[in-house]
Each structure stands twice: as structure tokens, then as C-alpha cells.
Amino acid sequence: MNTAETLISGESGRTTCIPHSRAQFEVIVIFTHARPTLRALKAAARLAKTLGARIRLIVPRIVPYAGHPKARFVSSISLVFPLRTIVGNGKVDTRLDVRFCSDRWEMLQRVLAPESIVVLDGGNHWWSTAETRLARDLRAAGHHVILSSGKE
């Protein structure tokens, strides 16, 4: 059985969420771009099923400043509904965590627990991608990062 939650938060600290019944081990996926995130979700689902964990999809939404109402409205409508559909179709308990912030890295430092397990899609490129750069930074911060192969 899959339960999908939505957690939407801004830098102001105000949060609206559907509470979950118990704290559970989580495998983190950070939204970067659509295709790499979908591939990372597939890899995270395999890992979460093996570990008996849930998936937490963190979606950073960059806004000019914390209280920018138009950006918050547009971001919620244009992103949450398609992602909830994708998350809701999975076979692993998944939590959708949309975070409004002005700096993605600062937000990730605040919301990730120490030594979190993070799954990103590494792609099959010899050059550096947004995902590989993020993986490098997360590892430097002490998190456990798994780069999936990039194959669908």
C-alpha cells in the first residue's frame, strides 16, 4: 500500500502537511530535473523496498524571497499535482516534500538529517552534471549518496 504525503514549507518556517503516523527510515531523492529525478526515484524505490524504508522526494522551489506570494502559488499548482501523481503510483511509501527557498544548498543543509541516504541519477556522461555536483557537495557534508546508472 502506498501513501503519499505533501509537505510544503517556506523559509519562514510555516509548514502545511499531512502528518505521518510514525517516524520511519527514509531514502531521500532530491528533485533536480524531470528525467534524472524519475530515474533516481526508480532506484530509490528498489533500495527502500529492500531496506523497509520510505522515500522522501525533496523538491526545492527557488523563489526571490520567502514571502513572494505569486511564486508560491504558481510553483504549487504547476509542480505538486504532477509529482503527486507520479509519487502516488509507486509501490513504496513516498513523501513529497516541496520546499520554497532562496538558496537550495542552505535549505538542504537545514532539512537533511546527518548522514542521510540520498539517491541521485548520475547519468552516463563524462562531464559534470547538476546531479554529480550535488552528489559531491552532499558527500562533503557527510551524507551517503548513491548515484544510479542513468539507465531507464
**Which pLDDT score is estimated for 13?**
43
pLDDT higher than threshold 70 for residue 109: yes
Q: Tell me the residue length of the chain.
A: 152
More confident residue, 118 or 67: 118
- In tens, the pLDDT along 120-145 reads 988 777 788 888 899 999 999 999 99
pLDDT higher than threshold 80 for residue 84: no
**Which pLDDT score is estimated for 16?**
41
- In tens, the pLDDT along 21-68 reads 445 789 999 998 888 888 899 899 999 999 999 999 998 888 776 566
pLDDT higher than threshold 60 for residue 94: yes
The domains of the chain are located at 4-13+24-126+138-148
User: DSSP string of 56-110?
Assistant: EEEEEEE-SSTT-HHHHHHHIIIIIHHHHHHHHTSSS-EEEEEEEES-HHHHHHH
Measured in degrees and rounded to the nearest 5, phi and psi for residue 56 equal -120, 110
pTM of this prediction exceeds 0.85: no
Q: Decide: 63 and 72 in contact? Cβ < 8 Å.
A: yes
- In tens, the pLDDT along 63-83 reads 776 566 655 555 455 555 556
Q: Superfamily for 4-13+24-126+138-148?
A: HUPs (3.40.50.620)
Q: Mean pLDDT, to the nearest integer, of 93-121?
A: 91
Instruction: Report d(CA 103, CA 107) in Å as an integer.
Output: 6
**Which pLDDT score is estimated for 73?**
56
